[in-house]
Structure 1
């Protein structure tokens, strides 16, 4: 199965999957940070407005990369209850981590959006990330979007683990059987910086 050279190439491939649909006043939201360069390419092809949404992973204490939940700057956190049970963890035990991640989501949202008004109501919203592994941050972002009355919401990613779909409609270019990690499907997958996000949004 093919790989993407970088997020820009992945964004163009994803845009090709979305371009043949009819969109009403489309709004493309990049899931910060890595989803924004992908979303920029999608917005360009669809002639759509580009903006950003921030959702932060809530990780297991001592293993922050292992996400069991996610939270946006405003709104309640979302947790994978099956994973919590399997790790013998409760939401209360993760409250401190959740507060830290919410604060970081607030910081990034303020930095990226700078109080610029964002109109979602009645529009076709396309949430874009660079890949879908557990899907927990995407689900938190989708719930945030749904609270603002979109006309429709589409989750779109260049590559997704099949188990992450979990009944959520998603447009994906690649659905590999042997997924392992998002980074495996990119030749270049460096961390996206705040400066790169701001540059894309400009």
Structure 2
């Protein structure tokens, strides 16, 4: 067991990121589990905290295969290779995007309330999650954040498998990961308490940080 719970993981991650304090960074947590980790990082760095809400665009009838992602502000990242190989037509793409855009707006409003999104233009942005399994969502989040104007993207997680960290090197300018165990099956097995983070906790932490 590496971490007691997400708060402790966040405190340890904050120590590894303290050197970035001088860059006046913005900290973004991936909902839901990434937010309690990001909250501790933001507090330690004296940085603003926000959520990065992304929705994977899954190939119809094969949802786990993503052909892209969307983020707030109309940002969309699409892999033309996967679109071609999956033989997706414009209607297929539009239908998936429409459904995911509605869910994206709902989640963002739920988590952030009436607060505006923290602007990222020209900033160093630290994208935080509670761990990484495949890295697909984290990679999408990094691309979305870059498209929203971030000058430098740092992906920070407590734990991830070594191959995922290697792959994510192309999505972020820097990947900070405290532990990369080889015998990796799921993020939860490296936490003593990995109970689900309810929406209410995300809302509370974001409001408190604001």
TM-score (norm 2): 0.80
2: CA distance, partners of 1:163 / 1:70: 21
2: CA distance, partners of 1:101 / 1:156: 25
CA distance change for structure 1 residues 111 and 19 in 2, over 3 Å: closer, same or farther? same
Kindly indicate whether residue 188 of structure 2 is the aligned counterpart of residue 183 of structure 1. yes
Gaps of 5+ in 1: none
CA distance change for structure 1 residues 91 and 11 in 2, over 3 Å: closer, same or farther? farther
Structure ranking higher in helix proportion = 2
Q: Which residue of 2 aligns with 1:126?
A: 126
Residue pair 1:32, 1:55 contacting (<8 A) in 2 also: no
Q: Which residue of 2 aligns with 1:30?
A: 29
Aligned length: 197
Q: Which residue of 2 aligns with 1:156?
A: 156
Q: Which residue of 2 aligns with 1:106?
A: 105
CA distance change for structure 1 residues 161 and 97 in 2, over 3 Å: closer, same or farther? farther
Q: CA deviation at 1:17?
A: 0.8
Q: Which residue of 2 aligns with 1:138?
A: 138
CA distance change for structure 1 residues 102 and 171 in 2, over 3 Å: closer, same or farther? same
TM-score (norm 1): 0.83
Instruction: Indicate the RMSD between aligned Cα atoms, in angstroms.
Output: 2.5
CA distance change for structure 1 residues 95 and 175 in 2, over 3 Å: closer, same or farther? farther
Q: Which residue of 1 aligns with 2:43?
A: 44
